[in-house]
Amino acid sequence: MHIFFIILIFILFYIYFGYPILLFLISIFKKNNVKMSKDYFPNVSLIIAAYSEEKIIEEKIKNSLNINYPKSKLEIIVFSDASSDRTDEIVKKYEKEGIRLIRIEGRKGKTICQNEIVKLAKGEIIIFSDANSMYEPCAIKKIVRNFFDEKVGCVVGELKYGEFITSNSVNVVEGENVYWDYDKIIKKLESKVCSVVTGNGAIYGSRKSIYVPLERNMISDFIEPLEIFKKGYKIIYEPEAVARENTAENSQKEFGRRIRIVTRSACSLLKNKSLRELLNPFRYGIFSVQLLSHKVLRWFSGALMILIFLLNIFLLGRGTFYNLTMLGQGIFYMFALWGFINEIWLKRKSAKILHVAYYFCLSCIAMLYGMINAFRGKEMVTWETVR
């Protein structure tokens, strides 16, 4: 029991601290250089995913029309996955300004819609965006400059969170930004060492010529970059290509969103034997370690935390070390509980340390739910907006 307890603590420590340290050490000796050109302007298709987005779609269209990229080389397509509100009507108002609406009937889900739209897109480079992701003017230029390097197949941009003007959303933004700041460090290091292991549905691009159509139950911004890597191309992180989003209005909605993401990601990997081969370090080297550490092991964080806590109860009184680990866990979970009470019951802003503890626990529980769903074979094909 003692050894098992130590191993579990080591794994949890490795996931959140050891892995970035390992990447940093490797990055000192291994550089993944990319050739760039600020004067490289291929034809680009910006594909915007929309399902019943009448509250935000007009703002997204105006944002897209203001993008700083040669107009003659930028195609903007909005696909409507059988929207049931005024989304299509709003998009049609901008057809004369070059916005192309493609409605797909039958509520097929984001992945199938993207498969169909990519076939119709005219651009050499395809950039995928969500309807609520607002791009900074030079975001597409920053993405595209990396494709000057013929070895680059996919470029992942940077997502920053804003805030809904509601009392419940204040902490959610803070928690999300802490998470993304941490993830940003990891993506930078992964990009330097080899390739990043995941895309970002808000802002990522790929070459149309190597796009791989995916099955309906697969989450495209995670699986598509992996498929591109298997073809021998690099997946690069571009921190200067910035998209901004409002996060969910409250932690409960964010909790549901995370469950859906982990469920779809884990299901996609479990059901695809070809992609599971990417976890073989003898064939794919450091990338296998990256995929295992950044995604697969992290998905088990909730299970690890529960096991560590339960084992620590049985080990109490068997030495100072076990007493201190229980004390540390007790303090951490008290902070998380305090943050939970503040946000859910008292509806007020917590101190940052309280909310970060609460948000971390919430994320780990969501990942645990997602993994249970995945092992049960539960599929989530369509999506609902958090707005």
Q: Per residue of the chain (387 residues), give pLDDT as tens.
A: 889 999 999 999 999 999 999 999 999 888 778 899 989 999 999 999 999 999 999 999 999 999 999 999 999 999 999 999 999 999 999 999 999 999 999 888 899 999 999 999 999 999 999 999 999 999 999 999 999 999 999 999 999 876 443 444 445 555 566 777 888 899 999 999 999 999 988 999 999 999 999 988 889 999 999 999 999 999 999 999 999 987 655 667 778 888 999 998 999 888 888 889 999 999 999 999 999 999 999 999 999 999 999 999 999 988 899 999 999 999 999 999 998 888 777 777 777 788 889 989 999 999 999 999 999 887 765 655 654
Say what the pTM is. Answer: 0.88
Nearest to 46 by CA among 71, 78, 81: 78
**CA–CA separation, 269 vs 217, rounded Å?**
11
**CA–CA separation, 365 vs 359, rounded Å?**
10
**CA–CA separation, 368 vs 298, rounded Å?**
10
pLDDT at 195 (0 to 100): 94
Residues in the chain: 387
**CA–CA separation, 290 vs 197, rounded Å?**
7
Which helix or strand (DSSP H or E) is residue 152 part of? Answer: strand 152-161
Could you say which DSSP state residue 349 is in? P
Are 125 and 208 a contacting pair, CB within 8 Å?
A: yes
Are 234 and 151 a contacting pair, CB within 8 Å?
A: yes
DSSP-derived 3-state class of residue 46 = strand
Task: Write phi, then psi, for 127 (nearest 5 degrees).
Answer: -115, 125
Are 117 and 227 a contacting pair, CB within 8 Å?
A: no
pLDDT at 385 (0 to 100): 61
- Listed in sequence order, the DSSP H helices in the chain are 2-13, 19-29, 57-65, 87-92, 110-120, 139-144, 170-193, 220-230, 251-270, 273-276, 281-284, 286-291, 297-299, 301-315, 320-340, 352-375
pLDDT at 178 (0 to 100): 75
Which pair of structure tokens corresponds to residue 386? 């958090």
Which pair of structure tokens corresponds to residue 139? 């975001």
pLDDT at 342 (0 to 100): 83
